């Protein structure tokens, strides 16, 4: 007999149960989960999350018949923004664990996508087993065609696959129309390469999170909406200033090394990026103070860390350019060493001050909570 309560957990990371079935997670209990599965089945009987929920119910029945202390729950994320969806899953899981007093869980998923949240779940509760549900099908040509057709009809997959292919074909055609066929291949591979880098490094998730945060702050009438707009404008200025520095210091016939191009861009843009980050973090701090005082200790350190990173990045860029014999660069090697030394010390001091202030606020909040109790 396994001691403690085991939670049978089904995770719908892209929130099909909410987007299609209009159900709100967390869903706890066998009857509620069965009702949710039936609702989703009536809306879309081909959804793979449906099989995962039924598998979780089956495991719940099997373990309960053996006399084990089990509970079942279904969690969902977000259909539009995976980053905010994962945060929602974390919050819902904390709520479910507190409600059910579970000591371990069995994760039931419908594929690899949901298993991205496995580390998140393991940080909150012990995961004793992971069960992946695979729907068996007859591997003939007709079923393969149907699966591909369904994949292309899925908006998420269509955006990832059809957008880069369509853009590549369009750019190839434009290159031929303007009389530059020899550069068509270069343009296509360059654009597609940038797209893959953006997807690979998760830059698109950052933009989605930024856009979602702007929508949330606007809908709730928060001060951070103004700082989001200002941050965006200053960020654009930072990009322009970085590019202008690249053009200023590198109009040479020898060409540009990619490393020095990046360093020069950082040298010209880091001040503006730090300024935009400070404005954004100040907006977050004001919102936390006015609406969520309990989270003030988490966000108060942001401007100090942003400042520390900016100081170190600026000092390192000045040092690198000063020792690279850049024509007309205003700083000599000795100046570059001084900039780097002061930047390292200043960055560490700035980060330490932020951590110290954060600890003071957390202790003050803990003392205030003890007084209220």
> Are residues 87 and 159 both part of a single domain?
no
258 within a domain of the structure (yes/no): yes
Q: Is residue 38 part of a domain?
A: yes
Residues 191 and 240 in one domain: no
Asked if residue 225 and residue 365 are part of one domain, the reply reads yes
Whether 289 is in a domain gets the answer yes
Mean pLDDT by 10 residues, the chain (373 residues): 78 84 87 90 81 90 90 86 82 90 87 70 87 62 56 64 74 75 69 71 67 72 84 90 82 62 88 93 87 80 92 92 78 85 93 90 77 66
Structure tokens at 284: 């977050």
pTM for the structure as a whole:
0.52
- How far, in Å, CA of 354 to CA of 373, rounded? 29
The answer to whether position 303 is within a domain reads: yes
The two three-digit tokens of residue 181, written as one number = 């066929």
Query: At which of 132, 154, 189 does a domain end?
Result: 132
Does residue 212 lie within any of the structural domains? no
Instruction: Please indicate, yes or no, whether residues 125 and 146 belong to a single structural domain of this protein.
Output: no
SS3 annotation, the chain: CCCCEEEEEEEECCCHHHHCCCCCCCEECHHHHHHHHHHHHHHCCCCHHHHHHHHHHHHHHHHHHCCCCEEEEEEECCCCCHHHHHHHHHHHHHHHHHHHCEEEEEEEECCCHHHHHHHHHHCCCEEEEEEECCCCCCCCHHHHHHHHHHHHHCHHHHHHHHHHHHHHHHHHHHHHHCCCHHHHHHHHHHHHHHHHHHHHCCHHHHHHHHHHHHHHHHHCCCCHHHHHHHHHHHHHHHHHHHHHHHHHHCCCCCCCCHHHHHHHHHHHHHHHHHHHHHHHHHHHHHHHHHHCHHHHHHHCCHHHHHHHHHHHHHHHHHHHHHCCCCCCCCCCHHHHHHHHHHHHHHHHHHHHHHHHHHHHHHHHHHHHHHHHC
Q: For residue 144, what are the domain limits?
A: 139-201
- Among left, alpha and beta (phi > 0; psi -120 to 50; other), residue 87 is alpha
Q: Evaluate whether residue 210 is within a structural domain.
A: no
Per-residue model confidence (pLDDT) at position 52: 86
Residues 245 and 348 in one domain: yes
- The reply to whether 39 falls in a domain is yes
CA-closest candidate to residue 6, choices 52, 53, 65, 71: 71
**Boundary residue ending a domain (151, 167, 201):** 201
Tally the domains of the chain.
Answer: 3
Q: Write down the pLDDT at residue 154.
A: 65
Indicate whether 13 and 61 sit together in one domain.
Answer: yes
pLDDT at 314: 93
Does 147 share its domain with 127?
no
How far apart are alpha carbons 245 and 257 in whole angstroms? 15
Tell me whether residue 24 is in a domain. yes
Let me know whether 232 and 366 are in one domain.
yes
């Amino acid at each position: 007999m396994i001691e403690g309560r085991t939670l049978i957990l089904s995770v719908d990371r892209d929130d099909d149960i909410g987007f299609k079935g209009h159900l709100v997670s967390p869903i706890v209990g066998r009857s509620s989960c069965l009702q949710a599965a039936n609702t989703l089945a009536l809306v879309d009987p081909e959804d793979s999350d449906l099989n995962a929920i039924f598998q979780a119910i089956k495991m719940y029945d099997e373990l309960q018949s053996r006399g084990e202390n089990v509970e079942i729950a279904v969690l969902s994320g977000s259909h539009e923004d995976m980053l905010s969806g994962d945060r929602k899953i974390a919050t819902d899981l904390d709520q479910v664990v507190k409600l059910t007093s579970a000591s371990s869980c069995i994760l039931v998923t419908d594929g690899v996508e949901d298993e991205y949240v496995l580390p998140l779940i393991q940080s909150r509760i012990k995961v004793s087993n992971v069960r992946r549900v695979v729907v068996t099908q007859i591997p003939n040509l007709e079923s393969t065609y149907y699966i591909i057709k369904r994949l292309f009809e899925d908006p998420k997959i269509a955006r990832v696959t059809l957008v880069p292919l369509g853009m590549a074909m369009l750019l190839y055609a434009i290159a031929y129309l303007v009389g530059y066929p020899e550069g068509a291949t270069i343009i296509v591979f360059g654009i597609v390469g940038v797209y893959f880098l953006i997807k690979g490094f998760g830059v698109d998730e950052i933009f989605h999170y930024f856009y979602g945060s702007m929508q949330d702050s606007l809908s709730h009438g928060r001060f951070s909406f103004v700082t989001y707009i200002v941050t965006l404008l200053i960020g654009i200025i930072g990009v322009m200033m970085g590019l202008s520095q690249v053009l200023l210091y590198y109009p040479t016939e020898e060409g540009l090394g990619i490393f020095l191009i990046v360093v020069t861009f950082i040298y010209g843009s880091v001040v503006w990026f730090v300024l935009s980050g400070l404005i954004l973090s100040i907006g977050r701090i004001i919102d936390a103070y006015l609406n969520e005082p309990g989270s003030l200790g988490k966000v108060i350190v942001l401007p100090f860390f942003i400042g520390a990173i900016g100081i170190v990045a600026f000092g390192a860029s000045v040092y690198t350019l000063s020792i690279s014999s850049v024509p007309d660069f205003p700083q000599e090697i000795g100046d570059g060493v001084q900039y780097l030394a002061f930047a390292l010390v200043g960055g560490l001091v700035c980060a330490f001050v932020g951590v110290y202030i954060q600890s003071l606020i957390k202790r003050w909040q803990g003392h205030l909570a003890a007084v209220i109790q």
